[in-house]
Amino acid sequence: METCLQEKTAELQVVMDNLRDTKEQQLSAKNSTLKQLEEKPKVQSDHEEVKEELRILKSMGGVASERSGSHGTSKTLEVLLLEKNRSLQSENATLRIASSDLSDPDPALDLGQQLQLKVQCIKI
């Protein structure tokens, strides 16, 4: 009877060891999957940044092709962005002046003349 219990104990020990090994392998696989899933948002974030930078370059009107074509006279991205910023600020100032002209019409003008001035400013 004692040997029968020892045999059963040994069999159960083998089964337990096999189960432990299986569970450890499953845990390892799940940890690996978890790490991959944790990295995915980082990769997507980098992808979104690259897409945004590409959109900016495209909006600058073929800057990327100009830079690759002439290495000797190519401007840095920072210089190109500064130039674009200056031109946009100038355009913004012009539009503000036009807007203030529209919002503060000369009181000496009649309504028809004010309307004509507004239409002319809009056409510009």
| Cβ contacts of 77 within 8 Å, gap of 6 or more | 57, 63
Q: Render pLDDT for 79-108 as a digit per residue (tens, 0 to 9).
A: 888 888 898 998 888 888 877 766 665 655
Q: In angstroms, rounded to a whole number, what is the distance separating the alpha carbons of residues 89 and 97?
A: 12
Q: Render pLDDT for 8-53 as a digit per residue (tens, 0 to 9).
A: 999 999 999 999 999 999 999 999 999 988 888 877 777 888 888 8
Does this model's pTM top 0.85?
Answer: no
